[in-house]
């Protein structure tokens, strides 16, 4: 029987620029909320992908 290998977990968006924007509630480096940062290590891969999608949208909004 061939076992299916699990895909690797999503990469952390952390870039070691850990400062929070108090007004927006987001990290300046990774664009996650404090809640997203705090649950990252326990989050399922599905939840991590959801967070990464939100991060992508936030980055696009900021760069416009």
Whole-prediction pTM value? 0.83
**Domain coordinates of the chain in residue numbers?**
20-63
**Which residue in 46, 21, 47 sits closest to 33, CA to CA?**
21
Tell me how far apart the alpha carbons of residues 51 and 53 are, in angstroms, rounded to a whole number: 5
Residue 1 forms beta bridges with which residues?
A: none
pLDDT tens column, 8-62: 889 999 999 999 999 999 999 999 999 999 999 999 999 999 999 999 999 998 7
Strand 20-21 versus strand 26-27 pairing type: antiparallel
């Amino acid at each position: 029987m061939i076992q299916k290998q699990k895909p690797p977990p999503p990469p952390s968006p952390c870039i070691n620029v850990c400062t929070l924007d108090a007004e927006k509630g987001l990290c300046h480096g990774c664009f996650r909320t404090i809640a997203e940062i705090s649950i990252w290590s326990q989050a399922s891969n599905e939840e991590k992908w959801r967070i990464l999608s939100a991060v992508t949208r936030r980055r696009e909004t900021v760069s416009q």
